[in-house]
Amino acid sequence: MMNSLLSGARPRSRGRAALGAILAATVATAALGATPAFAEKVKFEFWNGNSGDIAERIQDACKKFNESQKDYEVVCTSQGGYDTNLQNTIAAYRAKKHPVITQIYDAGTLDLMLSNAFVPAKKLMAENGYKIDWDNYFGGIANYYATAKGELQSFPFNSSTAVFYYNGAAFKKAGIVEGPKTWDDVAADAKKLKEAGFDCPLAFNFDPWALMEQFSAIHNQPLATKANGYQGLDAEVLFNKTKFVDEVKFFKKMTDDKLFVVKTKQLGMDIVPAFTSQTCQMMMSSVADHATVGKTLPADVEWHVTLLPVMAGTERRNSLVGGASLWVMKDRPEAEYKGAAAFLNFIAQPDMVEWWSTVTGYIPVTKTGFEAMKANGFYDKPQFKGRELAIQSLTYTPTSENTRGIRLGNYTQIRKEVSTALEAIFMQNADVQKSLDEAADRSNALLRRFEKTYAGQKLD
């Protein structure tokens, strides 16, 4: 944790869905001052926690920025994973060798907020001459990275939410005419797929992000007291007392009936390759996987995405944003802050917004960015059709205390506790309620440890 880092204590935290439109549409050109013709470029570092194709696309964005101007050079380095980047950033800050920009995923947001080791987004841009319409952000995205008062502290970066994927060709073979809207529909569709000869109607894994967090949001269920932690560090988890328990019991029955199938890396194939190989015909996953699905499935295979199903009789609410945001760290040379502001402005431009969504599947985070892409016909192209549902899902309703986001300490470890409980339930036939109760007890112990570390501090 950053504060224990600053105090010299051993850090305990282990850190976890539009690079485009990070800033609003109205951006004024900053007066950065004249640069001598042969002056050396100001170099500054940007660390990220992505790997594989996404890490390569970030390198492409950095290259585009470096080639667009002569004053700055951003050096973009992948740390290989979200957790690793959080820990490496902490260690580097302690050693005073940290980057000016670092990518921190949703679960690490509270660590950075309590650290006092960052420059707030609004302050950085104002001090470097950029006029930003901060209200242009979609509330369902910005609120995750804002204070309780709504002050945005970091820049939404690779933003996504969960959607439901299904194989249209398989559906036609099974006589199914449309995508599911409720979990009752999913159950009926899974049975028809099974009868049509498909051994794995739906694939799922133990990642709480889709199974617990997104489910809880769209069903307006709390994950914790104190408005999911936004109102204080003394929050306690509630996931063992909500409709999430009913969802797990439903999934267990469907698994026992061999209609839902566990697919994880440990078992040899996770949900996305299970879907793209047509081993399984339905899955819940990030909209950021849209590009991967499109590139991997054979071109003649019909597939679709739709909103996450809800329980019958549910009044749907907005889903949660996933992914990460960009934090600008304190204690770097002033010239690096000018470069950081210029870079953040660059990747906010409309052409970069559309490019990023094209090559990744992540979504624009501002209203004007989204509207510009719609006007350009982006979502009418077959290979991108359905990606707009992520925005529809995130903005389905105004955010509530249960759908604004999650502001809990040690949240990476809490996710692990839930994942461990789910694994015991589905792989070892452990009792659903007992397993979730035990996971909640361990999670609350993690929260109390975090609260003790930050004793006396309050959330803004």
pLDDT by 10s per residue, the chain, length 460: 444 433 333 333 333 334 444 444 334 344 444 444 557 899 999 999 999 889 999 999 999 999 999 999 999 999 999 999 999 999 999 999 999 999 999 989 998 999 889 999 999 999 999 988 888 888 888 888 988 788 889 998 889 999 999 999 999 999 999 999 999 999 999 999 999 999 999 999 999 999 999 999 999 999 999 999 999 999 999 999 999 999 999 999 999 999 999 999 999 999 999 999 999 999 999 999 998 899 999 999 999 999 999 999 999 999 999 999 999 999 999 999 999 999 999 988 878 888 888 888 898 888 888 888 899 899 998 889 899 999 999 999 999 999 999 999 999 999 999 999 999 999 999 999 999 999 999 999 999 999 999 988 877 7
Structurally, how many domains does the chain consist of? 2
Co-location of 135 and 80 in the same domain: yes
Q: List the Cα angle 219/224/229 in 5-degree steps.
A: 115
Co-location of 140 and 177 in the same domain: no
Residue 431 has a CB neighbour count (10 Å cut-off) of: 12
User: What DSSP letter does each residue of 16-79 carry, written as one string?
Assistant: ----TT-S-S--PPP------TTPPPEEEEEEE---HHHHHHHHHHHHHHHHH-SSEEEEEEE-
Residue 458 is assigned to a structural domain of this protein: no
Co-location of 296 and 342 in the same domain: no
Using CA atoms, how far residue 289 sits from 117, 160, 168, 360, in Å, is 33, 9, 17, 8
Contact 45, 444 (CB under 8 A): no
Co-location of 365 and 414 in the same domain: no
Run of H or E residues at 165: strand 162-167
Residue 460 is assigned to a structural domain of this protein: no
Contact 453, 12 (CB under 8 A): yes
Co-location of 202 and 286 in the same domain: yes
Co-location of 271 and 301 in the same domain: yes
Residue ranges making up the domain that contains 131: 2-159+322-394
Co-location of 314 and 341 in the same domain: no
Co-location of 86 and 140 in the same domain: yes
Q: What is the pTM of this model?
A: 0.87
